[in-house]
Copies of this chain bind each other. A is one copy, B any other.
Protein backbone atom coordinates (compact mmCIF):
# COMPACT_ATOMS: atom_id res chain seq x y z
CA UNK A 1 0.00 0.00 0.00
CA UNK A 2 2.98 2.33 -0.27
CA UNK A 3 2.30 3.57 -3.77
CA UNK A 4 -1.08 4.98 -2.85
CA UNK A 5 0.34 6.74 0.16
CA UNK A 6 3.15 8.18 -1.88
CA UNK A 7 0.54 9.58 -4.27
CA UNK A 8 -1.58 10.92 -1.41
CA UNK A 9 1.54 12.50 0.05
CA UNK A 10 2.41 14.28 -3.17
CA UNK A 11 -1.19 15.42 -3.61
CA UNK A 12 -1.24 16.67 -0.03
CA UNK A 13 1.28 19.32 -1.06
CA UNK A 14 -0.54 20.44 -4.18
CA UNK A 15 -3.06 19.17 -6.72
CA UNK A 16 -1.52 17.46 -9.72
CA UNK A 17 -2.29 15.32 -12.74
CA UNK A 18 -1.12 11.77 -13.34
CA UNK A 19 1.46 13.21 -15.68
CA UNK A 20 2.72 15.63 -13.04
CA UNK A 21 2.89 12.85 -10.48
CA UNK A 22 4.83 10.63 -12.87
CA UNK A 23 7.33 13.46 -13.22
CA UNK A 24 7.57 13.96 -9.48
CA UNK A 25 8.23 10.27 -8.99
CA UNK A 26 10.93 10.32 -11.64
CA UNK A 27 12.59 13.41 -10.20
CA UNK A 28 12.23 12.92 -6.47
CA UNK A 29 11.10 9.51 -5.25
CA UNK A 30 12.36 7.07 -7.87
CA UNK A 31 15.99 6.99 -6.84
CA UNK A 32 15.83 6.72 -3.11
CA UNK A 33 12.33 6.07 -1.85
CA UNK A 34 9.84 4.40 -4.13
CA UNK A 35 9.93 3.37 -7.73
CA UNK A 36 6.81 3.73 -9.88
CA UNK A 37 6.03 4.60 -13.45
CA UNK A 38 2.96 5.98 -15.20
CA UNK A 39 1.51 2.57 -15.94
CA UNK A 40 1.13 2.02 -12.22
CA UNK A 41 0.25 5.58 -11.32
CA UNK A 42 -2.74 6.10 -13.63
CA UNK A 43 -4.68 3.01 -12.53
CA UNK A 44 -3.92 3.75 -8.87
CA UNK A 45 -5.26 7.30 -9.23
CA UNK A 46 -8.46 5.92 -10.71
CA UNK A 47 -8.76 3.55 -7.77
CA UNK A 48 -8.08 6.32 -5.25
CA UNK A 49 -10.74 8.47 -6.91
CA UNK A 50 -13.17 5.55 -6.79
CA UNK A 51 -12.58 5.27 -3.05
CA UNK A 52 -12.98 8.99 -2.53
CA UNK A 53 -9.43 9.59 -1.30
CA UNK A 54 -8.71 11.95 -4.17
CA UNK A 55 -10.96 13.86 -6.58
CA UNK A 56 -10.68 15.41 -10.01
CA UNK A 57 -10.70 19.18 -9.51
CA UNK A 58 -9.94 20.34 -13.04
CA UNK A 59 -9.80 19.10 -16.61
CA UNK A 60 -7.47 20.72 -19.11
CA UNK A 61 -6.08 20.31 -22.58
CA UNK A 62 -5.08 16.89 -23.92
CA UNK A 63 -7.42 15.13 -21.54
CA UNK A 64 -5.47 16.37 -18.53
CA UNK A 65 -7.19 15.69 -15.22
CA UNK A 66 -5.95 17.44 -12.11
CA UNK A 67 -6.48 15.53 -8.89
CA UNK A 68 -6.60 16.90 -5.36
CA UNK A 69 -6.54 15.02 -2.08
CA UNK A 70 -9.86 14.91 -0.20
CA UNK A 71 -10.42 15.13 3.54
CA UNK A 72 -10.85 11.35 3.63
CA UNK A 73 -7.58 11.00 1.76
CA UNK A 74 -5.81 13.35 4.13
CA UNK A 75 -7.10 11.36 7.11
CA UNK A 76 -5.91 8.11 5.53
CA UNK A 77 -2.47 9.57 4.83
CA UNK A 78 -2.14 10.94 8.35
CA UNK A 79 -3.16 7.63 9.84
CA UNK A 80 -0.61 5.81 7.70
CA UNK A 81 2.14 8.25 8.61
CA UNK A 82 1.46 8.04 12.32
CA UNK A 83 1.42 4.23 12.40
CA UNK A 84 4.66 2.95 10.94
CA UNK A 85 5.11 -0.84 10.88
CA UNK A 86 7.65 -2.54 13.14
CA UNK A 87 9.77 -3.58 10.17
CA UNK A 88 10.02 -1.78 6.89
CA UNK A 89 10.22 -3.79 3.71
CA UNK A 90 13.37 -2.83 1.87
CA UNK A 91 14.36 -3.83 -1.63
CA UNK A 92 17.51 -2.22 -2.88
CA UNK A 93 19.34 -3.84 -5.74
CA UNK A 94 22.40 -1.68 -5.20
CA UNK A 95 22.86 -2.82 -1.63
CA UNK A 96 22.17 -6.40 -2.67
CA UNK A 97 24.99 -6.21 -5.18
CA UNK A 98 27.31 -4.80 -2.53
CA UNK A 99 26.34 -7.76 -0.34
CA UNK A 100 27.38 -10.15 -3.06
CA UNK A 101 30.64 -8.33 -3.79
CA UNK A 102 32.45 -11.13 -2.00
CA UNK A 103 31.52 -13.55 -4.79
CA UNK A 104 33.85 -11.61 -7.08
CA UNK A 105 37.61 -11.31 -7.09
CA UNK A 106 39.37 -8.07 -6.06
CA UNK A 107 39.83 -6.73 -9.58
CA UNK A 108 36.18 -7.20 -10.43
CA UNK A 109 35.10 -5.64 -7.14
CA UNK A 110 37.23 -2.62 -7.90
CA UNK A 111 35.62 -2.33 -11.33
CA UNK A 112 32.19 -2.23 -9.70
CA UNK A 113 33.14 0.21 -6.95
CA UNK A 114 34.73 2.85 -9.12
CA UNK A 115 31.45 3.86 -10.82
CA UNK A 116 29.80 3.88 -7.38
CA UNK A 117 32.31 6.44 -6.15
CA UNK A 118 31.81 8.56 -9.25
CA UNK A 119 28.04 8.44 -9.43
CA UNK A 120 27.54 9.15 -5.75
CA UNK A 121 29.71 12.22 -6.15
CA UNK A 122 27.58 13.37 -9.08
CA UNK A 123 24.30 12.76 -7.25
CA UNK A 124 25.68 14.57 -4.24
CA UNK A 125 26.56 17.60 -6.33
CA UNK A 126 23.17 17.65 -8.06
CA UNK A 127 21.30 17.39 -4.79
CA UNK A 128 23.38 20.08 -3.11
CA UNK A 129 22.71 22.37 -6.03
CA UNK A 130 18.96 21.89 -5.88
CA UNK A 131 18.98 22.43 -2.12
CA UNK A 132 20.94 25.65 -2.51
CA UNK A 133 18.51 26.79 -5.18
CA UNK A 134 15.56 26.02 -2.89
CA UNK A 135 17.22 27.75 0.08
CA UNK A 136 17.76 30.86 -2.03
CA UNK A 137 14.10 30.95 -3.08
CA UNK A 138 12.98 30.31 0.50
CA UNK A 139 10.04 32.35 1.74
CA UNK A 140 11.02 35.13 4.15
CA UNK A 141 8.78 33.70 6.88
CA UNK A 142 10.76 30.49 7.00
CA UNK A 143 8.34 27.91 8.41
CA UNK A 144 9.74 24.76 10.07
CA UNK A 145 10.51 23.54 6.51
CA UNK A 146 10.16 19.84 7.10
CA UNK A 147 10.85 19.15 3.46
CA UNK A 148 14.42 20.33 3.99
CA UNK A 149 14.93 17.39 6.32
CA UNK A 150 14.69 14.59 3.79
CA UNK A 151 16.91 16.52 1.40
CA UNK A 152 19.54 16.56 4.10
CA UNK A 153 19.07 12.83 4.57
CA UNK A 154 19.71 12.30 0.87
CA UNK A 155 22.78 14.53 1.03
CA UNK A 156 24.24 12.65 3.95
CA UNK A 157 23.40 9.26 2.43
CA UNK A 158 25.22 10.05 -0.80
CA UNK A 159 28.15 11.45 1.11
CA UNK A 160 28.28 8.22 3.10
CA UNK A 161 28.09 6.11 -0.05
CA UNK A 162 30.85 8.12 -1.66
CA UNK A 163 33.19 8.00 1.32
CA UNK A 164 32.53 4.31 1.72
CA UNK A 165 33.26 3.49 -1.91
CA UNK A 166 36.60 5.30 -1.68
CA UNK A 167 37.41 3.55 1.58
CA UNK A 168 36.45 0.16 0.09
CA UNK A 169 38.60 0.74 -3.00
CA UNK A 170 41.51 1.68 -0.79
CA UNK A 171 41.05 -1.36 1.39
CA UNK A 172 41.00 -3.70 -1.59
CA UNK A 173 44.17 -2.08 -2.88
CA UNK A 174 45.89 -2.57 0.47
CA UNK A 175 44.79 -6.19 0.87
CA UNK A 176 45.94 -6.78 -2.67
CA UNK A 177 49.33 -5.43 -1.76
CA UNK A 178 49.51 -2.79 -4.41
CA UNK A 179 48.34 0.70 -5.20
CA UNK A 180 45.98 0.82 -8.14
CA UNK A 181 45.67 4.11 -10.08
The interface residues of chain B lying within 8 Å CB-to-CB of A78 are: 103-104
Contact A2 B172 (CB under 8 A): no
- Report the separation of the CA atoms of residues A157 and B115 in the bound assembly, to the nearest whole angstrom: 19
Contact B176 A144 (CB under 8 A): yes
Contact A143 B13 (CB under 8 A): no
Contact B146 A109 (CB under 8 A): yes
The A149-180 residues at the B interface (CB cut-off 8 A) are: 149-150, 152-153, 156-157, 159-161, 163-164, 167-168, 171-172, 175-176
The interface residues of chain B lying within 8 Å CB-to-CB of A5 are: 96, 100
Count of identical protomers in the assembly? 2
The interface residues of chain B lying within 8 Å CB-to-CB of A9 are: 96, 99-100, 103
User: Contacts A81-B104, A103-B77 given: A34-B144 contact, CB under 8 Å?
Assistant: no
Tell which of A15-23, A24-32, A46-54, A59-67 binds the partner.
A24-32
Question: Which residues from chain A sit less than 8 Å from chain B, CB to CB?
Answer: 2, 5-6, 9, 12-13, 28-35, 77-78, 81-82, 84-85, 87-104, 106, 108-109, 111-112, 115, 142-150, 152-153, 156-157, 159-161, 163-164, 167-168, 171-172, 175-176
A-B contact pairs, 8 of them (CB 8 A): A13-B102, A33-B98, A81-B108, A101-B149, A106-B144, A145-B175, A149-B168, A152-B167
